[in-house]
């Protein structure tokens, strides 16, 4: 679990980083998908585990203290306790468009350091410049240091244009909604909790059909004018940008077997709920004004069957982008996100992209409506490869910013321990490939401390910030856990060709576009919704392992569950379902199972 203390000094600091490169050189083989696994040329299962770094263009700014290559070297330095075999490198359109190292705010799109870069802000020469200037060296470092490099097209929403971020020291003119709307709203003022929407021009009518079918206007007390969809000039420019970016990047690194292509970071809206607009924040997804359609608020839950329609639209939109990657690369692994900031991973097995080595990403912080992780991300990982490529938390809500979706402020009232424990259990119990966010001092949740600028105590501009792991984010925890998890899965068999029997054949849940009926995952042990009556309680299986550890039904496992099981050990629900409460694995229920449940807490 999480270590305590206000500052942890990494072993030896930066002194031994560069000297260890030669000792860690590995002949990285091509990897392939085999069912829900990733395998090396011998057919052996490989599990990738690592971190995200900040955009290399961002890290070229002198005030940040260290460059992307220096960060990459520490992240892959076993002598420092970092057993990292994959590093995700976000490439942000804003830094592509800046076209210069150490970019000043005035050199960013719209002259706005924090705002979005609309599609069309960079061209082919900008992409090639960015590859030469930043990516080529990182790809070479990966080959030297035995780490796969995931290149990520990293579109995301303009965080500093949200009202909840007004305390970050940003001028109010930046975050306030002062535009009169229309086509000019983006330059420079931006509001609304989103970036560029992912939909195509030809999907607008289908989106409006879903909006009405799913009662979105009524549920969130909206008018039709409140719904924002991209004009054709933006949606078409996005399409052109994706094809251009991946044609260049995929072909450039097609001969580098250790490069993974992450097609789209976080496609946000549209999805089954209120995704906000240019002049308003998104609605409270967990508490709409009234029930959607004929059901209740749970109908907007990611796992509600009606939500698959949004995922189907996403696959239709993104398949040509995936095709461009595959056409320009030599069968390397491809990953992609999903609607609602890559939180619709649940539906990936039911409508797969048509690509040989397709994998899927999952991003989650401390949103309670995406728990248990076993349901929303674990269940799909049993059918398709899942990269758990962004996760984390911030105790206390970050440096200056209120971040309700990562500050543990939900049902646990700021206590991050239940989330940390669930992360750890999830990563150990499922064949996912975790990459913690973020191996940096500024991108939150920052694994290294911000420090106090100018005081050389891990400050943002200090040369020694890498010596200060953060114990209020995944920093200390991930440093310890990745050492604990280093095992045989990290040993790659050599070879020049992928495992010959691996492919992207249809998984056992694949049904493609359209409705589904019944339980989407009927063979799983449980998804947190099925209950067993235990006295006055409704027990639940929180992690899908077939054991009902949430005995009192409060969506967590605590001493209260041990007491409830002890008091109701002779209840019919327990006696008639002994396998559901067989926590010690001896094939029957007894007092030892109560003690074993206690040990799990």
The per-residue pLDDT for range 410-459, each reduced to its tens digit, is 888 899 999 999 999 999 999 999 999 999 988 889 999 876 644 555 55
Pairwise CA distance, residues 591 & 88, whole Å: 47
Residue 501: both structure tokens together: 């029997």
Q: What pLDDT does 585 receive?
A: 76
Pairwise CA distance, residues 417 & 288, whole Å: 28
Q: What pLDDT does 79 receive?
A: 92
Q: What is the mean pLDDT of residues 26-38?
A: 93
Tell me: pLDDT of 284 over 60.
Answer: no
Lowest mean pLDDT among 435-444, 459-468, 472-481: 459-468
Per-chain mean pLDDT for the chain: 84
Q: What pLDDT does 463 receive?
A: 62
Spell out the long-range contacts of 551-556 with Cβ–Cβ below 8 A and sequence spacing 24 or more.
Answer: 551/597, 555/371, 555/372, 555/411, 555/528, 556/412, 556/418
Please tell me the pTM assigned to this model.
0.84
Q: What is the mean pLDDT of residues 329-353?
A: 96
Residues in contact with 106: Cβ distance below 8 Å, sequence separation at least 6, in sequence order:
none
N residues, the chain: 601
Tell me: pLDDT of 156 over 80.
Answer: no
Q: Which residues of 348-378 are buried (b: 16+ CB within 10 A; e: fewer)?
A: bbbbbbebbbbbbbbbbbbbebbbbbbbbbb
Pairwise CA distance, residues 552 & 530, whole Å: 13
The per-residue pLDDT for range 489-511, each reduced to its tens digit, is 888 999 999 999 998 888 989 99
Tell me: pLDDT of 557 over 60.
Answer: yes
Question: Which of 120-124, 288-292, 552-556 is predicted most confidently?
Answer: 120-124
Q: What pLDDT does 490 receive?
A: 82
Tell me: pLDDT of 564 over 90.
Answer: yes
Q: What pLDDT does 15 receive?
A: 36
Lowest mean pLDDT among 94-98, 215-219, 296-300: 296-300
Q: What pLDDT does 468 receive?
A: 84
Pairwise CA distance, residues 78 & 81, whole Å: 5
pLDDT category at 14 given cuts 50, 70, 90 is: very low
Q: Which residue has the tokens 């590093």?
A: 87
Tell me: pLDDT of 16 over 90.
Answer: no
Q: Which of 283, 117, 272, 122 is closest to 190 using CA atoms?
A: 117
Pairwise CA distance, residues 380 & 357, whole Å: 16
- Classify the C-alpha dihedral 333-334-337-338 as positive or negative: negative
Please, what is the Cα angle at 344 between 338 and 348, to 5 degrees? 80
More confident residue, 10 or 479: 479
Pairwise CA distance, residues 85 & 502, whole Å: 21
The per-residue pLDDT for range 58-96, each reduced to its tens digit, is 999 887 878 999 999 999 999 999 999 999 999 999 999
Q: What is the mean pLDDT of residues 550-557?
A: 87
What are the backbone angles phi and psi of residue 539, rounded to the nearest 5°? -75, 150
* Alpha helices (H) in 180-219, listed in sequence order: 204-213, 216-219
Pairwise CA distance, residues 260 & 567, whole Å: 52
* Proportion of the chain above pLDDT 90, given as a percent: 54
Q: What pLDDT does 439 receive?
A: 95
Pairwise CA distance, residues 147 & 28, whole Å: 8
Q: What is the mean pLDDT of residues 254-281?
A: 87
Full DSSP string of 254-318: TT-TTEEEE--S---SSSSS---BTTBPPP-TTS-SS-STTS-GGGGSTTSGGGHHHHHHHHHHH
Cα dihedral 206, 340, 425, 587, rounded to 10, equals -20
Q: What pLDDT does 7 receive?
A: 36
Beta pairing partners, 550? 540
Q: What is the mean pLDDT of residues 162-174?
A: 57
Measured CA distances, 469 to 126, 187, 313, 414, 448 (Å): 34, 38, 41, 21, 4
Question: Which of 182-186, 372-376, 465-469 is predicted most confidently?
Answer: 372-376
């Amino acid at each position: 679990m999480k270590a305590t203390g206000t500052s942890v000094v990494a072993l030896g600091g930066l002194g031994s980083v560069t000297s260890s490169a030669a000792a860690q050189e590995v002949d990285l083989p091509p990897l392939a998908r085999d069912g829900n696994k990733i395998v090396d040329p011998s057919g052996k299962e490989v599990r990738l585990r690592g971190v995200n770094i900040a955009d290399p263009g961002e890290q070229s700014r002198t005030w940040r203290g260290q460059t992307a290559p220096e960060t990459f070297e520490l992240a892959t330095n076993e002598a420092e306790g970092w057993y990292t075999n994959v590093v995700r490198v976000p490439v942000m359109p804003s830094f592509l468009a800046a076209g210069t190292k150490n970019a000043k705010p005035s050199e960013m799109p719209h002259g706005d350091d924090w705002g979005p870069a609309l599609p069309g802000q960079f061209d082919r020469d900008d992409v090639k410049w960015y590859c030469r200037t930043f990516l080529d060296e990182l790809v070479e470092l990966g080959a030297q240091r035995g780490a796969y490099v995931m290149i990520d097209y990293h579109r995301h929403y303009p965080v500093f244009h949200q009202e909840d971020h007004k305390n970050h020291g940003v001028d109010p003119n930046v975050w306030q909604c002062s535009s009169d709307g229309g086509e000019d709203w983006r330059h420079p003022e931006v509001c609304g909790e989103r970036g560029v929407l992912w939909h195509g021009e030809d999907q607008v009518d289908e989106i409006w059909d879903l909006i009405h079918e799913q009662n979105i206007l009524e549920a969130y007390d909206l008018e039709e004018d409140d719904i924002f969809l991209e004009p054709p000039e933006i949606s078409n420019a996005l399409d052109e940008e994706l094809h251009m970016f991946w044609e260049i990047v995929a072909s450039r690194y097609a001969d580098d077997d250790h490069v993974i292509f992450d097609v789209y970071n976080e496609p946000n809206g549209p999805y089954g709920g209120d995704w906000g607009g240019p002049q308003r924040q998104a609605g409270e997804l967990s508490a709409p004004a009234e029930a959607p359609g004929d059901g209740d608020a749970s109908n907007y839950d990611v796992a509600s069957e009606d939500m698959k329609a949004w995922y189907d639209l996403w696959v239709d939109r993104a398949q040509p982008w995936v095709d461009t990657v595959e056409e320009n690369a030599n069968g390397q692994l491809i990953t992609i996100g999903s609607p609602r900031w890559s939180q619709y991973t649940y539906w990936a097995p039911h409508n797969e992209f048509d690509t040989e080595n397709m994998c899927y990403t999952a991003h989650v912080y401390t949103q309670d409506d995406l728990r248990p992780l076993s349901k929303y991300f674990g269940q799909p990982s049993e059918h398709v490869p899942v990269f758990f490529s962004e996760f984390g938390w911030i105790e206390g809500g970050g440096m200056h910013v209120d971040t309700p979706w990562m500050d543990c402020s939900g049902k646990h009232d700021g206590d991050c321990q239940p989330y940390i424990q669930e992360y750890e259990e999830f990563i150990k119990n499922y064949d996912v490939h975790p990459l913690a966010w973020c191996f940096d001092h500024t991108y939150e949740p920052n694994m290294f401390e911000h420090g106090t600028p100018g005081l050389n105590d891990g400050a943002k501009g200090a040369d020694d910030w890498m010596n200060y792991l953060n114990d209020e984010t995944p920093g200390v925890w991930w440093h310890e856990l990745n050492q604990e998890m280093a095992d045989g899965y990290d040993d790659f068999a050599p070879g020049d060709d992928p495992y010959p029997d691996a492919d992207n054949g249809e998984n056992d849940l694949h049904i493609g576009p359209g409705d589904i009926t019944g339980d989407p995952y009927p063979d799983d042990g449980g998804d947190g919704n099925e209950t067993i009556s235990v006295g006055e309680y409704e027990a639940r299986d929180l992690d899908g392992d077939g054991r009902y550890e949430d005995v009192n039904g409060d969506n967590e496992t605590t001493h209260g569950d041990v007491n409830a099981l002890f008091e109701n050990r002779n209840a019919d629900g327990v006696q008639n379902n002994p396998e559901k409460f067989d926590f010690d694995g001896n094939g029957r229920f007894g007092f030892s199972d109560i003690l074993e449940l206690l040990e799990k807490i």
